[in-house]
Structure 1
Amino acid sequence: MVGFNNDDYIRNILGHLQKIDYIKPDEIPNIDLYMDQVTTFMDEHLKSSKRYEEDKLLTKTMINNYTKNNLLPPPVKKKYSKEHMLLLIFIYYFKNILSISDIQNMFEPLTEKFYNNKEVNLETIYNEVFELEKEQIDVLIKDVIKKFSKSKETFADPKFDKDREFLNTFSFICMLSFDVYVKKTMIERLIDQSVAEMNGKNKNKKAEPKKTE
């Protein structure tokens, strides 16, 4: 087992970060898929993100629930399009940090404006967003190294000698968790702001007097 203060510890973490990948649009079949094909595809392409081997990334029940909760448009003749797949990938990442209602609030304008849009579709949106992925990984790696180094400096007093490794690990987890907490709070505020703006626009539209001829 690699100890926290051993350099191999951070190398292992960074190695995992560098392996994080996303599903590229050209990897998604251009033909519509049945439910079983969707779950198989997602499991094969996202298996590196599993925490435990037995973890289920996407199940039929999950997909049905996403449709019931209006996160996902209903399939056409029991088949899911490429745009369905793109939405499922977004859901996969969002559901780990956001509530269903927050994802709904984000997806409502997204699907309303861009789902089956011939000019700017969801694939265009997906490409644009994930083009930033490599840059973000580099930034994250530098930030993780900085937090790791800082956490190694904590609990330097000799009275912590016996438990220093555990406490250093705890410090590292706290710093990473606080970072997640702050970003999650920012995301929630951005969603709330977007919802408020949309509701304001909808009210203004309803309040506009009808033109008479």
Structure 2
Amino acid sequence: MTDDNKKALVPSIEGFKMPTFDQIPNVGLYLEQATTFLNEYLEPLDGTQLTSSMISNYVKKHLIESPIKKQYSREQLAYLFFIAISKTVLPLADLKVLVEIQRKTYTTRRAYEYFTEELDNALEYVFGTQETLKKIGRDKTEEKRMLDNIIMTAAHKIYLEKYFALFHEQIDG
């Protein structure tokens, strides 16, 4: 693949931004509404989309709390964004442990804001739109290091999937 072809990958991710914590609805969303909201943001990241049955399964496995009156809160949606990205590189059992550690260590808002900043940073670096990784956060905990590695691994996986999709498109097309 030529450098021009590699540059062709950039538009597939350019402009991608996860919603801020405050942009996540603060009113409860029913399952189908939650699925639609999440997938609208996740669509550019191939392989990260969620289905209603997946979300229900995450509730059954206690990755997220049960909805109240069948409605999902801002905090639950924030966790679902994290799960959608992390599930591409971690088995659910490990993801459950990670979520439990996070709940004991950080507020949902803080964890989500760090996650989205680091994901944007990692994607820009992996796709070559920024030269170096920015230093995000000041924590030097093992939990933060683990999150950094999960996010970077997911960013590389997204890049590879887009790279090979373009490659196959050029060969087949």
- Output the TM-score relative to the length of structure 2: 0.66
In structure 2, runs of 5+ residues without a counterpart are: 132-148, 154-173
Aligned partner of residue 48 in structure 1, secondary structure: coil
State the Cα distance separating 1:67 from its structure 2 match.
0.9
Letter in 1 for 2:14: Q
CA contact (8 A) 1:86 1:126 kept: yes
Amino acid in structure 2 at the alignment position of 1:60: S
Q: Which runs of 4+ in 1 moved over 3 A?
A: 132-135, 141-145
**In structure 2, C-alpha distance between the alignment counterparts of 1:64 and 1:96, rounded to whole Å:** 18
Count how many residue pairs are aligned between Structure 1 and Structure 2.
135
Rg larger for: 1
Do structure 1's residue 90 and structure 2's residue 82 form an aligned pair?
A: yes
> What's the counterpart of residue 80 of structure 1?
72
Q: If each structure's helix is expressed as a fraction of its own residues, which one has the higher value?
A: 1
Q: How far apart, CA to CA, are the structure 1 residues paired with 2:123 and 2:72?
A: 31
Contact 1:25–1:127 at 8 Å: present in 2 too? yes
Considering Cα pairs closer than 8 Å and 6+ residues apart, tell me whether 1 or 2 has the greater RCO.
2
Tell me what 1:110 maps to.
102
1:66 to 49, 58, 82: 58
Match of 1:130 among 94, 98, 116: 116
Residue 140 (structure 1) shift: 2.0
> What is the TM-score of this pair, normalised by structure 1?
0.54
How far does the alpha carbon of each residue in 1:43-100 deviate from its partner, in whole angstroms, 9 at most, with x for none?
A: 222222246xxxx822221111101111111111111110000010000000001001
Native 8 Å contact 2:26 2:74 kept in 1:
yes
Question: Residue 32 in 1 paired to residue 28 in 2?
Answer: yes
Decide whether aligned partners of structure 1 residues 61 and 40 sit closer, same or farther in structure 2, where only a CA change above 3 A counts. Answer: same
Output the aligned Cα RMSD.
2.9
Q: Distance in 2 between matches of 1:77 and 1:61?
A: 18
Over 3 Å counting, the alpha-carbon distance change for 1:106 and 1:29 in structure 2 is same
Query: Quick one: distance in 2 between partners of 1:125 and 1:110?
Result: 7
